[in-house]
Every structure is written in structure tokens, then in C-alpha cells.
Amino acid sequence: MSTKTTGLMLFLVLALGLLGAGPAAAGRLDGIRARGVLTCGILPAVGGFAADDGKGGFQGLDVDTCRAVAAAIFGSPDKIKFVIAQNVQQLKDADAIDIVARRITWSLTRATTNGLMFGPITFYDGQGFMVPKKSGIRGAKQLNGKAVCVQAVEAHATSVAEYFKASGLSLTALPVPDNAQAERALKSGACAAYSADVSWLGAARAAMAGGSEAYDILPELISKEPLAPLVRQGDDQFFEIVRWSIFAMIAAEERGITSQNIDGAGTAHRDVETKQFMGEVAGNGAALGLAENWAYNIIKTVGNYGEVFDRNVGRGSPIKLERGLNRLWTEGGLMYAPRLR
């Protein structure tokens, strides 16, 4: 084979490879725009994260994550279609679903074996304990020798057993099928505590008689359960939009920019980075394939991370979870955004 022929074949292989890569990189965003809505998979099963809003729609932190992405793309958080996603496999199989945000823990196997990518963490979760306030229990070590109701799913019972063993404590674990039985056991004294993910405990507490006035969630976390949205590998441009939409909400809170004061933020802060955030200085939007005011649209219509947290799961909601690890890094938490520039 001549050098000329070899060179031509190499050129064709590279050209075909580039042609194949192009649609995979930009095709998801093009398809969303052509469709006119973002399709988001949620599971309306845990209050504060995704639940029926009583008006024919949904509300929650997961819901607002998707609404922020829609606002970045379309300028409106309402250009969105929610579908029920029972598991990760649905995102893998159903190409019409663009993103899944449904209280999924980021793990290596969930991403790599399914060809998926996790976006930024939207909630640092973990397994914890809820106790009746009247019990006087203020820490997990006070549960030594007591019975603990454990949510009968996944590895919650194992996590509790491992924690108590490592701490040199003893316990009796009682699996319960649902929150109603856990509530009965707490009221009767059959269990001193209820153990599940804190996100689950917050929603369970809000549904129990007395709510946060009657029950405390202890400060200890005995597992790491970082929750993040999922997209497909290969949807690189769309992944960047998801990533920076979440970072924009965190960055806005860092800079004190809220849905209420954002219209004055461009003049109140004269630095270039804020002007880029507002879309007054070009560059960020073009880098993402979006309008330059994409971040402004997110904060104006959905809010910054603190606003989203507070109204869905924080003190302004029935869930009333503390910010904890979900505080900004400047306040001792883990929420941190790279610079938007």
C-alpha cells in the first residue's frame, strides 16, 4: 500500500471519527431546543426533594435542579417535562430523558457500569438517627444498649451495625417497612431511634405528629450519601450546562445574589466576574452554547442554592433540615463553586 493511499485512509478514518463525535457532543442540547422542553426524570416519593405540589406539578430540591437547567437553556424554568424515573436503568435506556434528578447517591459503579455521569453534588446526605425530643438523647452514643428502628431497604441495617461495632456499642436493630410503623415504635418506646438517610428522615418527621417540635435528627452521620443529578456519557456539552447551572446557584449565594436583589447586582458589585455572571460581559454564555444571561435567568426564576435549600428542605419548609454539610464552604460546609469566568 502506497504512502499516499495510507494517508488518504487515515484522513477518512479521522474525518469519520470527528463526524461521529460532533452530534454526540452537541446533539443533546440541539434535541432539547428542537423539542422545546427539557425532559427530567424524578421520583416523587420523598418530600422536599420531589413531591406532588397539589397543583398538577411537582416541587422539591431535585425538581428545582432540573428547573435551573431549563432556565439556563430556555430562559424559563417552566419549559420542562417531568417523567417518573424508577431507576438508573431508565436514563440508560430511554433516550428521551435528558437528565435524572431523584435522590441518587453518587457511586463509582452506578456511573461506570451504566455509561453515565454525575453532575455536582446538590445535597450531602448520609444515614443518621431521629429520636423523640422528650427522650433527652442528643447524640448517637446515647443509643447504646437500646433498640433502633431501621428502614428496611438497601444497607441501612448493615451501616448501623458497623457503626455500633466500630464505636464499641451494642444495639438491637428492628427493621421497619415504613414510616408509620417507625412512628408507632417511637411513640410506644419499642424503638429509641429511627435510622435512615437524613433526607428521608426529614420528610418522615414532617409527616409525623408534632413534626420538628416532637423529633430531633441527631448530628452524627454514619455513611456518605452524596446526591447528584445524572446525565449520559457522551452528552458532554449538556453535561457542562448541568454542571455550571448548579455551580451558578452556589456562586450566587456566595456573592449574596438572590432572586430578590439580582436586578441590582450588576451595579452593586462592579467587579468583572459579577458582570460576567449577569451576562453584561460576554464569554460565559458563548462557552456553554447559551445566551449570555443564562446564569441571571437561573437566579431570577429559581433562586440561589440557599433559597432553593431553604424553601424545599430547610427552615422555610415543613422538612426543617439544618444546612449542616450543605452550608457554603465559607460557613464550614462543603458547598463550593469554581469561578464563573
pLDDT tens track for 165-195: 999 989 888 999 999 999 999 999 999 999 9
The pLDDT value recorded for residue 272 is 84
Please indicate, yes or no, if residue 16 is contained in any of the structural domains. no
Same domain, 76 and 197: no
Same domain, 137 and 213: yes
Please indicate, yes or no, if residue 46 is contained in any of the structural domains. yes
Helix axes 236-254 and 305-312, enclosed angle (nearest 10): 90
User: Using an 8 Å Cβ cutoff, are 46 and 199 in contact?
Assistant: yes
Same domain, 269 and 251: yes
- What percentage of residues in the chain have a pLDDT greater than 90? 75
The pLDDT value recorded for residue 48 is 97
Structural domain ending residue among the three candidates 200, 223, 246: 223
| Residue 23 pLDDT grade (very low, low, confident, very high; cuts 50, 70, 90) | very low
* Residues spanned by the domain of 181: 127-223
The pLDDT value recorded for residue 248 is 98
Same domain, 202 and 136: yes
- Report the pLDDT averaged over residues 19-25: 38
Q: pLDDT higher for 264 or 202? A: 202
Structural domain ending residue among the three candidates 223, 244, 259: 223
| Residue 285 pLDDT grade (very low, low, confident, very high; cuts 50, 70, 90) | very high
Please indicate, yes or no, if residue 270 is contained in any of the structural domains. yes
Handedness of CA 306, 312, 313, 316 (dihedral sign): positive
Please indicate, yes or no, if residue 52 is contained in any of the structural domains. yes
How many Cβ atoms from other residues are within 10 Å of residue 48's Cβ?
A: 26
Same domain, 253 and 273: yes
DSSP letter (8 states) at residue 209: T
Please indicate, yes or no, if residue 231 is contained in any of the structural domains. yes
Please indicate, yes or no, if residue 64 is contained in any of the structural domains. yes
Please indicate, yes or no, if residue 35 is contained in any of the structural domains. yes
Predicted confidence (pLDDT) per residue in 141-161, tens digit: 999 999 999 987 767 888 888
Look at the block and give the residue holding cell 455500633: 164
Same domain, 152 and 214: yes
Report the alpha-carbon distance of residue 31 to residue 38 in Å, rounded: 9
Task: Kindly report the pTM of this predicted structure.
Answer: 0.89
List, as own/partner pairs, every contact residues 270-273 make where C-beta atoms lie below 8 angstroms and the sequence separation is at least 24, other chains included. Answer: 272/341, 273/339, 273/340, 273/341
Same domain, 36 and 116: yes
Range with the poorest average pLDDT among 5-9, 56-60, 118-122: 5-9
Same domain, 60 and 177: no
How many domains does the chain divide into?
Answer: 2
Please indicate, yes or no, if residue 280 is contained in any of the structural domains. yes
pLDDT above 80 (res 51): yes
What is the CATH classification number for the domain harbouring 134?
A: 3.40.190.10
Structural domain ending residue among the three candidates 223, 246, 278: 223
Same domain, 232 and 305: yes
Same domain, 132 and 279: no
Same domain, 219 and 244: no
pLDDT above 90 (res 13): no
Burial of 93 (0-12, 13-18, 19+ CB in 10 A): exposed
pLDDT above 80 (res 15): no
Same domain, 82 and 217: no
